[in-house]
Each structure stands twice: as structure tokens, then as C-alpha cells.
Amino acid sequence: MSQATQKLKLGALIALVVGSMIGGGIFSLPQNMAASAGAGAVLIGWAITAVGMLTLAFVFQTLANRKPELDAGVYAYAKAGFGDYMGFSSAWGYWISAWIGNVSYFVLLFSTLGYFVPAFGEGNTVAAIVCASLVLWGVHFLVLRGIKEAAFINLVTTVAKIVPLVLFIVIAAIAFRLDVFTADFWGSGNVELGSVMDQVRNMMLVTVWVFIGIEGASVFSARAEKRTDVGKATVIGFAGVLLLLVLVNVLSMGIMSQPELAGLKNPSMAGVLEHVVGRWGAIFIAIGLVVSLAGALLSWTLLCAEILFAGARDHTMPNFLKKENARHVPVNALWLSNGLIQLFLILTLFNESTYLSLLYLATSMILVPYFWSAAYAVLLSWRGETYENAPVERNKDLAIALVALLYSVWLVYAGGVQYLLLSALLYAPGVLFFAKAKRELGQPVFTPIEKLIFAAVVIGALIAAYGLYDGFLSL
């Protein structure tokens, strides 16, 4: 099969963005948000998220257009602006976030199926892990048939999973009650929620989680039929998903009170719809979630393999990861990613990892790639590189990139020290891959500055390891 037949059109790129963002997060959003914040804080949090994520979407759009030679943008931007180790760390963190996210999707998928099959429990029983493993390798061999074929199936599942979300929004809008929404608007009746600022900060990791995938089109930029479609797909996908997320969250808070929502079992959208229309509503949402997760698993399986493959092509990752089969699928990258997913699925039997704990860890891992992408956009516009004949556009892009950078810093703060340290624990082992790639090029592993950065990562990793041992850190 020729490389030309593997090119992705605008519709497929939008589906990759939307399919990556709409996974399990939106179906659990009512409970996840209510557990952290009242209605007023939720509105403030969404306003911050909308501005922050919109600027990130514009950053990815701008960089895709101004630096078309940087394929798999989410890590290539860090490498181009801040050196090889930062580029590698962004690729490594993004990759780990992607496959840990897939583990969380498997847990949520079989937790949902536990609604019909009690043996699946909370998604981490023996029966659930065995069946999850079968699904994992089924998706694996589907992707091996070709990137374009898998992307087409992703397009179909993306359309299919939007249908139950739209129906939920219509029913919830009819059932919405303003008095329920405004009761205890600032969450002052629940001292556990803390101040409004605490509530906004605590909900931030959830808002990032439901938007992870916004860079999906950038990751596949090398396979896009038209380079300009990458930026279009990013912004169109973001706008559509933002609308769905805000409507699902806000309308739910006008149907059930904050304590009632916080007490729901996930997927909490099922509990909200059941409250309005009865048991069939919960069943309908559960089926919608199964379809949604199937599509998300496919999207993220593609992304896991693609980020390693792209890194190997420009020697950020070791050479063995750029091996492709006859259908241009990066086979070694795919086997490595899914092998680690399988390992972590087995580990959930022993540490009882929940959907939320895996969600927070996956989210914290992707904050570094987002930060460096925004920082590179600031650097590019500050220097005026590619803006020689567009001073007005340069000022606009610089302002947008600065907001995106501030938002990225805010996210690191909102995530807290615990997840920063746990991220360091997962970043540190990546040096083995980085060193191998450098030796293949006959180059020294680190520059002097990179040695200091790596030393800081190791110190954080050691603190995290001790924290897990001593008990002051936990998943």
C-alpha cells in the first residue's frame, strides 16, 4: 500500500481530535465536577478552561501553519525550542499519558459493563481484566491493518457516540430547574469543598483530562492530506467538544443538587438521566459510553504508536521504534505501548487502581508537553521568526501564546505537588531510551544544562519513590 493512500482528510483529522477528547471523561463529568466544586465555582472554572484551552488550540494551529516541517508537533516544538532532552521528555510524557489514559478507559469500560455483568465489579476484577485484555489485543490487530482503516472506524464511532450526548443534553435542558442550579451556588453549605478558589483549583485536573486530545491532529500532521487542515481540525474539534462538555456539566447541576451529584456512581451521566426518565436512561447512557470508549481506545492506540514512531524518525527515540509493516503501521511502537497497557491492567488487580486515580496521573504527565508547546510559541513570536512581513499577526500570536503559557503554569499549580512528584517518577526511567537514541547518533547524552534538569527529575523521582514507600504519597 502506497504512502499516498494513507493520507488523512479534514474529516478524519477532526474525528481524531474529537474522538480523542470525547472518551469516558464526559460521561463521568457531573460527579467528577460536583465532588470538587459548587455551581458558581464550576462556571468560573469553565471560563478559565475555555480561554486557556482555546489559546492552546490556537497555539497548535499557529505552530502547525508556521512550522510545517515539525511533524508530530506536541513534542517537536519542545525539541526545536529548548533542546533534545526537553523534546524527548515531552514525547515521553505524552506517550505515558496516552497509554495510562487507555488503562483508565479499560477500567471505566468494564466498570460500566459491571452495570449488566456483576462479575466485572469496578472494572478491576479478574473477569474484567481478562476481557479487557481481549479487547486490547483486538484493537491492536485492527490498528495493524492500517492507519487509514483505523481512522475511518474512529470516524464512525465518533459520530455514533455523539448521538447519546446530544439526546442527554436535550432531555436535561427540558428537565433543568433554575432553583436547583442556584441553591448553594458557591458551595458554602459544604465545608469540605473549601473556598471558591480552592474549588476552582481542585476541578482543574478534570477539565484538562476531558480536553486531552486537543493536539491529536498535530500528532498526525505528517499524515494529513493538507497541512492547513491540521489547524482547522484542532479549532473545530475544540469548539464542538467545549460546547458539549459545558452543557452536560451545567445542565446536570440544574437537575440534581451538588451533594446528590457528588454521590453518584460513575458514569454519573447515567445516574442523572435515570433521575429524569427512569432506568432506561441509565442503560442508554451505559451503551453510549461503551461505544464512546471503544472509539477513544482506538484513537489513543493510534496516538501512542504515532508519537514513538515520529520520535524515532528524527532520532529523539531509538531506531527500533520506527519499524513499519507493509501498511505503514509502526509495529514496534504499537507492541511496546500495548504491552505496557497489558502490564498495568494486570497491576490493577493488586493495587485496585480506580478510574479517577489513573485519570489524575495521566493528566499530570501531559502538562509538560503542553507547557513546552506554549513556551515555543512565545519564543517564536518573541523572536519574530516566520513573522518577518507580519508584525500585527506577530503581536496577536504573542499575546495568545503568553496566555496559553500562563494557563499551563496554572495547571501545574492546580495539579499539586503530589502529581508533580509522581510524574518525575515516571519521567526518570525515560533516560534509558534517550541515552540509546543519543548513542546511535554518536553524540553525548546531555548538555551541561540538561544534566541539571535531569538531576532535578531524579531528585523528584527519589522523593516520590520514598513517598509511596512511606505512605505520604499515594495513587
Q: Mind listing the pLDDT tens digit for each residue in 217-262?
A: 666 666 778 877 887 888 888 888 899 999 999 999 999 999 999 9
pLDDT value at residue 151: 63
Section 171-187 average pLDDT: 95
Mean pLDDT of 107-118: 86
CATH of 3-418, one of 1.10.10.10, 1.20.140.10, 3.40.1160.10, 1.20.1740.10: 1.20.1740.10
Q: Which pLDDT does position 390 carry in this prediction?
A: 84
Mean pLDDT of 111-116: 84
pLDDT of the residue at 352 = 63
Mean pLDDT of the chain: 86
Segments making up each domain of the chain, as ranges = 3-418
Q: Report how far residue 345's alpha carbon sits from residue 405's, in angstroms, rounded to the nearest whole number.
A: 34
Q: How far apart are CA 231 and CA 105, in angstroms?
A: 27
pTM of the model: 0.84
pLDDT tens, residue by residue, 336-361: 999 999 998 998 887 666 666 777 78
The arithmetic mean of pLDDT across residues 114-124, rounded, is: 85
Q: How confident is the model at residue 121 (pLDDT cuts 50, 70, 90)?
A: confident
Tell me, what's the pLDDT at 405? Answer: 96
- Under the banding of pLDDT at 50, 70 and 90, the label for residue 149 is low
pLDDT in tens, 393-411: 999 999 999 999 999 998 8
Question: If pLDDT is split at 50, 70 and 90, which confidence band does 326 have?
Answer: confident
Contact yes or no for 376/63 (Cβ under 8 A)? yes
The answer to whether the Cα torsion of 320, 326, 327, 328 is positive or negative is positive
* Of residues 69, 115, 95, the one with CA closest to residue 434: 95
